[in-house]
């Protein structure tokens, strides 16, 4: 795929918006406005944003948990407003305030996500089988972490997808750690893309801090899937700048993660990297970049106002309506 | 009316629904051949794209049911033995049961999990369970458990047309049982119990295979007690009204349940009856269930799973 | 006596048992760090071979517990949230629970599955369950559910020394609760309920976190009713005797259960009481449980999980 | 490993005994003497017999379901008497008549087996971790079918075993079919040994009808494991001569398996192949071979008499004793 200028700007804008909303979510959690817990995306925005921004509306995304799917939803063109209202427990939220961090936007291919890590794989295969059956050329893109890749669900789903040449792309957001466990303690090889070889699936490893590299690799894999050639695997080497979840200590082996390592990681901030690249290439001017940041902040402010004005749900009748369909 | 075997009735229900709605498909291990005969021959008529043999991967099979149903398909996932639900428990009990609910009720998941239940074949603990309460403790699922060919067909058709995930349990002891099944299209609404035998002295609620023994015991004891036998047919939704009407009439209740006793359907139903009709009870409710052990292999099975003598004893005790 | 927090009591129990018996080891995702503080710091004392961080693989973790326990080890598998038992259900409910039994009772499987239960934190359906009945429907497992630091330590030590698979549920609402914990070694025998508050009018059985509300309601209503509050501490084995003695005294029973109502511990206990003490009951037994829905995220949670007002209302109703 | 003459004779004897007992089990099932169901080993005896005959007594075996573990138990030096008495439901059986097809012989490293296919993997990892911890040099050998290899349990267990270099050998008895499903419909590649590459585990493919080839490959893998070098994968290409289970139709895709294919398979009968090899090499004479067969038949007859004289269990007290240990 050849990216036009507006594609690059869109990609950048989505990255900036993701970062802005993610920071807001962290703030809101501290204020007690955002409910339950939050697992920030910071440092790991590029796989979701890069992997989703150029999908079709009817392509289907299984978001990874980082930012509770913010990068993926923003990439997919979904305004985070209803999602965040939901996460703040408001009646105006995407699930009427009873989903917590769960939201769906079916018209944009966001059909939800589960809370057990690794449950993404079998459900994605179900979506992909439906996509193959209906012949509309939809592709499913399933995002997951290095830790998620330890779950056995991967094996069954990957096998089935390869066997039946289903239109699904597996995008691994390998940030080298699963909550408190570094990948060296969870997988014996260097690259998780080796998992694909068990099923003869094509696999690539890309710099997951380079949003364009991600976009290119995922786009190629999506095209392949759309042509009926079956699944492939894209491993994005990415990073987690902070702790797993807000409130968790940022430790491995019971010890603080090495601050120098984190400094190192932060030097490859995906937003900053892409910003300088676009400035360098003259795709953006400093003013453009600042305007994009300002717009993102305005969008956040507008979202916050919307959330603040929204009531909490208070209708127990919702429960029955949500439990069973007619 | 023509007679069909229970397994044929299931087969015919599948065939008719596959014919009626192209969104219906069947997936499972060896369904093109059919472990219990319930799916045999369908591939000749509907082809391998709709009668899908799958790898030995219950988790992925159940995942397919969950995922494909969200996109408008009506998958029927054949899990073979109900015991195997434990190997895809997340997919059935957290995903299928809860997906719609946890996302605010905006989606429908019209899928069916069909599985073979029941003991009495000395197959041991992992091929003999009747895990009603495993399903019932997960609201979001419906649960059908037919006890004859007529119901087997009618309930399966309803299950496939339902817009929610339905667990459909067919009993291995009933597979070869024959009974009348109309040629015309019919369905059986969920949540309608049926009174299999009328009586005035004592109510026996007996789902699935337990119905046999309820009827046998009623017959055996008919000179002493007039026994009313009720088959709930679906355990969720449960037709409590029919049961309450009966209990109000008889004042005595025995509940049969082939599942493990502890935290089972029998305890639940007893509690619901107590909540609604405590004053109508003339004696404590009795239950006859599988004892609180795994199901042993071999002849020791008989000490764990419900036996006909226990049914009679329970009726006598509740009437004593 | 010195005070410890519940999570510290758990941590200390682990440390003492790791110290006492070199066959004990701990395995789970990030246990070297500790999601709930319950395992934090242990790696410094016992090293990574005994405090084993594992891949994100509950199935393999549970498999390790099952397998290693057969060879004389005493693994403690930390499953993090109890909801995650669904992703390793075969290993816990068919393998751990049944392996000894199905092979004729020739082996012992001394392993512990520890997991965090409970709602009230708006964490949604997959991080808030309290799946008592899921465990209880599988005989072969024991089930401990401590409600204070003293019990948390004593029951965990007993669990680790038990020669059978034990599920140990600690409640997220209690983690930070402080209470007296002796310095000396002690264990709490399984199957011994404790009367938390004596009373004459009504018995309230309240495991785990529900004890709080039972006590609060008892206090609130003390001018009108004398409420006896019983904490069963272990649900299998269950100390039915203590409960029956109380019910025979009070004639009234309310059961609190944070698990989903349907086919839950409350129904089971009610049935057992009915079977043994029907004539001692002056009113129908009441239960207060999670309503038959998944647990919603956000504020809607309150319409599903038991609320203090419901406890009071149940006591009033049963006394009406 | 260099095989001495007596090793070869032992291997042959175990093969012949396995076949004889397997045929007896089929007979007994038809007579109603053997309870429940039976999945014959015929055609697939070599992986179990070859893989187990040279293990140490304290090495641990997870048997595959073919013959309900007969090849593995016989290989392991366990008399099938108590196992078959158990399978016939007798009080003299290995589990007192309440195990059905489940038996243990802990002193011979047979710790049991589950009835859910694929549950072998996590339990084997537990055994292997214990073996590593106790430092006695025990090795775990886990046998499973091509169908079993579709289960996600494989992935979690294999990953953990490779990561922690556990002493376990994975022996795949690939007979090309899982009940009614041919492997082409269940796995996209030619060799299941590709599964090992996902974890960097060494893997070999051997002729599973050649009991010596199996014995050599497994022995090498066991030695490796015993030296602390971690797990490996041995794929044995083997066969199933009859239906999956007695009473099942022998079909794939709802059609009878091609009789010519079965004829083809039968031409490579592992017992006959090894017999001619040993005769050819002069390791056995015709008389030796016949004596071994007669002895096997005598052992079967003796076992049958034992079973016939044994009572069924009738003590409900067994249930409590079996449920919980003191
Ligand atoms: C089945 C299951 N096990 C454990 C958890 C708890 N948990 C949530 S996220 C996580 C780590 C995930 O790691 P990874 O897949 O690498 O994603 P990352 O957070 O690093 O992006 C864990 C252990 C869970 N939610 N579900
Ligand atoms: C979890 C689970 N799914 C399905 C079954 C039913 N079943 C028993 S054996 C078998 C086929 C196994 O195939 P394979 O592993 O290739 O072994 P083979 O019988 O060919 O030796 C099936 C589907 C089961 N017992 N457990
Ligand atoms: Mg990670
Ligand atoms: Mg096979």
Alpha helices in B221-301 (DSSP H): 240-250, 265-277
Q: What is the sign of the dihedral through the CA atoms of C92, C94, C96 and C97?
A: positive
CB A42 within 8 A of CB A19: yes
Q: Is B127 a catalytic residue?
A: yes
- Find the distance separating the first CA and the last CA of chain A, reported in whole Å: 44
CB contact under 8 A, C265 and B265: no
Residue labelled with tokens 């006909």: B308
Give the residue whose CA is nearest to atom 6 of ligand 2.
D117
Contact A32 CB / ligand 1 (< 6 Å): no
CB-based contacts of B47-50 (< 8 A; 24+ apart in sequence): B48/D253, B49/A133, B49/B25, B50/B18, B50/B24, B50/B25, B50/B26
CB contacts, 8 Å: D100 with chain B: 122-124, 296-298
- Residue A118: per-residue pLDDT: 98
Residue among A99, A156, A324 whose CB faces B57 most closely = A156
- On average, the pLDDT of chain C sits at 98
Ligand 2 centroid to Cα of residue B21, in Å, is 31
Q: For residue A4, give the DSSP letter.
A: P
Burial level of A239, CB count in 10 A (0-12/13-18/19+)?
buried
- Residue A89: per-residue pLDDT: 97
State the Rg of chain B over Cα. 19
Contact C56 CB / ligand 1 (< 6 Å): yes
Give the residue whose CA is nearest to atom 13 of ligand 1.
A178
In ligand 1, the atom with minimum distance to the C-alpha of A144 is 15
State whether ipTM is beyond 0.95.
Answer: yes
CB contacts, 8 Å: A179 with chain C: 29-30, 33, 35, 56
- Could you tell me which residues come within 8 angstroms of residue A205 by beta carbon, excluding any fewer than 6 positions away? A191, A193, A235, A237
In ligand 2, the atom with minimum distance to the C-alpha of B29 is 23
> Looking at the CA of D156, which ligand is closest?
1
Q: Which residues of B fall below an 8 Å CB-CB distance to D?
A: 29-30, 32-35, 40-41, 43-44, 48, 53-57, 59-60, 83-84, 86-87, 121-127, 291, 293-294, 296-300, 303-304
Nearest to C128 by CA among C305, C8, C313: C305
CB contact under 8 A, A322 and B105: yes
- Residue B1: per-residue pLDDT: 87
Contact A116 CB / ligand 1 (< 6 Å): yes
Give the residue whose CA is nearest to atom 5 of ligand 1.
A117
- C49 CA: distance to closest CA in chain A (Å): 12
Residue among B68, B91, B101 whose CB faces A129 most closely = B68
**Bridge partners of D140?**
D60, D168
- Residue D69: per-residue pLDDT: 97
Interface partners of chain C (CB pairs < 8 Å, 3 or more) are A, B, D
Residue labelled with tokens 């034992």: D306
Could you give the domains of chain A? 5-309 (3.40.50.970)
pLDDT at residue D1 greater than cutoff 80: no
Q: For residue B194, give the DSSP letter.
A: E
Q: What is the mean pLDDT of residues C300-309?
A: 97
- A177 CA: distance to closest CA in chain D (Å): 15
Contact C80 CB / ligand 1 (< 6 Å): yes
Q: What is the mean pLDDT of residues D246-261?
A: 96
CB B259 within 8 A of CB B319: no
Q: Are strands D251-252 and B286-290 parallel, antiparallel or unpaired?
A: unpaired
Per DSSP, the residues of B111-163 read: -EEEEEE--SS-B-TTS----HHHHHTSBTBEEE---SHHHHHHHHHHHHHSS
Give the residue whose CA is nearest to atom 4 of ligand 1.
A117
CB A101 within 8 A of CB A68: yes
In ligand 2, the atom with minimum distance to the C-alpha of D117 is 26
Output the six-digit token pair for B284. 């404590």
Ligand 2 centroid to Cα of residue D144, in Å, is 9
Q: How far is CA A4 from CA A8, A9, A212, A283, in A?
A: 7, 9, 12, 10
- Residue B172: per-residue pLDDT: 97
Ligand 4 centroid to Cα of residue C277, in Å, is 55
Contact A147 CB / ligand 1 (< 6 Å): yes
pLDDT digits (tens, 9 = 90+) for C87-128: 999 999 999 999 999 999 999 999 999 999 999 999 999 999
- Could you tell me which residues come within 8 angstroms of residue D86 by beta carbon, excluding any fewer than 6 positions away? B298, C104, D93, D94, D95, D96, D97, D99, D100, D101, D102, D103
CB contact under 8 A, C56 and A148: yes
- Residue A68: per-residue pLDDT: 97
What DSSP element (H or E) covers C316?
helix C308-319
- Residue D2: per-residue pLDDT: 83
CB contacts, 8 Å: D94 with chain C: 103-104
Q: Which residues of A fall below an 8 Å CB-CB distance to C?
A: 35-37, 86, 89, 93, 95, 97-102, 114-119, 147-148, 150-152, 178-181, 185-187, 248-249, 251-254, 312-314, 316, 318-319, 322-323
CB contact under 8 A, C89 and B89: yes
Size of interface A-B (CB pairs under 8 A): 146
Q: Which of A110-114, C167-171, C253-257, D2-6 has the lowest mean pLDDT?
A: D2-6
Q: How do the residues of chain D divide into helix, strand and coil, expressed in percent and rounded to 5? A: 50, 10, 40
Residue among C89, C124, C133 whose CB faces B137 most closely = C133
CB contact under 8 A, A194 and D200: yes
Residue labelled with tokens 């816990």: C92
Contact A145 CB / ligand 1 (< 6 Å): yes
Ligand 2 centroid to Cα of residue D281, in Å, is 38
pLDDT digits (tens, 9 = 90+) for C126-135: 999 999 999 9
Ligand 3 centroid to Cα of residue A181, in Å, is 9
Q: How far is CA A174 from CA D34, D162, D246, in A?
A: 53, 20, 48
CB contact under 8 A, D98 and B297: yes
In ligand 1, the atom with minimum distance to the C-alpha of A173 is 21
CB contacts, 8 Å: B275 with chain C: 284, 286
Give the residue whose CA is nearest to atom 21 of ligand 2.
D145
Give the residue whose CA is nearest to atom 3 of ligand 2.
D117
Output the six-digit token pair for B116. 């073979």
Tell me the C-alpha distance between C160 and C165, whole Å: 9
Output the six-digit token pair for C117. 């239960």
Tell me the C-alpha distance between B22 and D147, whole Å: 30
Ligand 3 centroid to Cα of residue A192, in Å, is 11
Give the residue whose CA is nearest to atom 19 of ligand 2.
D178
- Where does the pLDDT of residue C162 fall: very low under 50, low under 70, confident under 90, or very high at 90 and above? very high
Give the residue whose CA is nearest to atom 23 of ligand 1.
A179
Residue among A98, A153, A323 whose CB faces B59 most closely = A153
Q: For residue D188, give the DSSP letter.
A: S
Ligand 1 centroid to Cα of residue C302, in Å, is 27
CB A102 within 8 A of CB A123: no
Tell me the C-alpha distance between A259 and A182, whole Å: 15
Contact A173 CB / ligand 1 (< 6 Å): yes
Within 10 angstroms of residue C108's Cβ, the number of other Cβ atoms is 17
Residue among D93, D98, D129 whose CB faces C64 most closely = D129
Output the six-digit token pair for B178. 């024959």
In ligand 1, the atom with minimum distance to the C-alpha of C84 is 1
Q: Are strands C234-236 and C202-205 parallel, antiparallel or unpaired?
A: unpaired
CB contact under 8 A, D198 and A195: yes
Burial level of A309, CB count in 10 A (0-12/13-18/19+)?
exposed
Could you give the domains of chain C? 3-180 (3.40.50.970), 194-319 (3.40.50.920)
Q: pLDDT by residue for chain B (320 residues), tens digit each? A: 899 999 999 999 999 999 999 999 999 999 999 999 999 999 999 999 999 999 999 999 999 999 999 999 999 999 999 999 999 999 999 999 999 999 999 999 999 999 999 999 999 999 999 999 999 999 999 999 999 999 999 999 999 999 999 999 999 999 999 999 999 999 999 999 999 999 999 999 999 999 999 999 999 999 999 999 999 999 999 999 999 999 999 999 999 999 999 999 999 999 999 999 999 999 999 999 999 999 999 999 999 999 999 999 999 999 99
CB contact under 8 A, C296 and A99: yes
Output the six-digit token pair for B237. 């939704």
Spell out, as residue ranges, where chain A has pLDDT lower than 50: none
CB contact under 8 A, D159 and C60: yes
pLDDT digits (tens, 9 = 90+) for C3-53: 999 999 999 999 999 999 999 999 999 999 999 999 999 999 999 999 999
């Amino acid at each position: 795929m050849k990216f036009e200028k507006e594609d690059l700007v869109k990609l950048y804008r989505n990255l900036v918006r993701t970062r802005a909303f993610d920071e807001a979510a962290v703030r809101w959690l501290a204020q007690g406005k955002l409910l339950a817990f939050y697992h920030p995306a910071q440092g790991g925005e590029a796989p979701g944003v890069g992997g989703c921004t150029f999908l079709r509306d009817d392509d289907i995304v299984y978001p990874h948990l980082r930012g509770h799917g913010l990068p993926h939803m923003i990439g997919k063109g979904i305004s985070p407003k209803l999602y965040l209202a939901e996460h703040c427990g408001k009646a105006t939220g995407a699930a009427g305030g009873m989903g917590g961090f769960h939201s769906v936007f079916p018209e944009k291919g966001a059909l939800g996500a589960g809370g057990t890590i690794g449950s993404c794989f079998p459900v994605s295969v179900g979506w992909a089988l439906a996509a193959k059956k209906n012949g509309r050329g939809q592709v499913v893109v399933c995002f997951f972490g290095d830790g998620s890749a330890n779950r056995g669900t991967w094996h069954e789903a990957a096998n089935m997808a390869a066997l039946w040449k289903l239109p699904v792309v597996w995008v691994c957001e390998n940030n080298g750690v699963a909550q408190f466990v570094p990948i060296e303690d969870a997988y014996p090889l260097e690259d998780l893309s080796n998992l694909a070889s068990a099923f003869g699936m094509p696999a690539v490893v890309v710099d997951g801090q380079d949003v364009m590299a991600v976009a290119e690799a995922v786009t190629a894999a999506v095209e392949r899937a759309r042509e009926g050639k079956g699944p492939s695997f894209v491993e994005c080497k990415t990073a987690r700048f902070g702790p797993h979840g807000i409130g968790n200590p940022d430790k491995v082996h019971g010890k603080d993660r090495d601050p120098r390592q984190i400094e190192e990681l932060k030097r490859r901030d995906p937003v900053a990297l892409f910003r300088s690249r676009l400035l360098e290439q003259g795709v953006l001017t400093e003013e453009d970049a600042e305007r994009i940041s300002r717009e993102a902040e305005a969008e956040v402010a507008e979202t916050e106002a919307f959330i603040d004005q929204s009531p909490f749900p208070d209708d127990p009748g919702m429960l029955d309506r949500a439990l069973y369909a007619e | 009316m023509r007679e069909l075997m229970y397994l044929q009735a299931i087969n015919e229900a599948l065939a008719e629904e596959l014919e009626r709605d192209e969104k219906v498909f069947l997936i499972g291990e060896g369904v093109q051949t059919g472990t219990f005969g319930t799916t045999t021959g369908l591939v000749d008529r509907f082809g391998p794209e709709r009668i899908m043999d799958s790898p030995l991967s219950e988790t992925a099979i159940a995942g397919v049911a969950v995922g494909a149903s969200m996109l408008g398909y009506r998958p029927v996932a054949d899990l073979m033995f109900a015991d195997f639900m434990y190997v895809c428990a997340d997919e059935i009990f957290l995903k299928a049961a809860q997906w719609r609910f946890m996302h605010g009720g905006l989606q429908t998941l019209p899928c069916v999990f069909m599985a073979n239940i029941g003991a009495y074949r000395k197959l041991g603990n992992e091929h003999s369970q009747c895990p009603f309460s495993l399903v019932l403790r997960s609201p979001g699922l419906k649960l059908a458990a037919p006890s004859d060919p007529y119901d087997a067909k009618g309930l399966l058709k309803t299950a496939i047309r339902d817009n929610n995930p339905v667990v459909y349990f067919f009993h291995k002891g009933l597979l070869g049982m024959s009974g009348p099944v109309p040629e015309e299209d019919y369905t059986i609404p969920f949540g309608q119990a049926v009174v299999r035998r009328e009586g005035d002295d004592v109510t026996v609620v007996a789902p699935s295979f337990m119905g046999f023994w309820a009827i046998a015991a009623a017959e055996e004891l008919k000179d002493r007690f007039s026994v009313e036998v009720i088959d709930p047919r679906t355990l969720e939704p449960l037709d409590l009204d029919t049961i309450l009407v009966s209990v109000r009439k008889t004042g005595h209740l025995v509940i049969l349940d082939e599942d493990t006793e502890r935290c089972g359907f029998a305890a639940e139903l007893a509690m619901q009856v107590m909540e609604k009709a405590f004053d109508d009870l003339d004696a404590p409710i009795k239950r006859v269930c599988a004892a609180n052990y795994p199901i042993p292999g071999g002849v020791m099975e008989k000490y764990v799973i419900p036996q006909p003598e226990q049914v009679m004893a329970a009726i006598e005790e509740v009437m004593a």
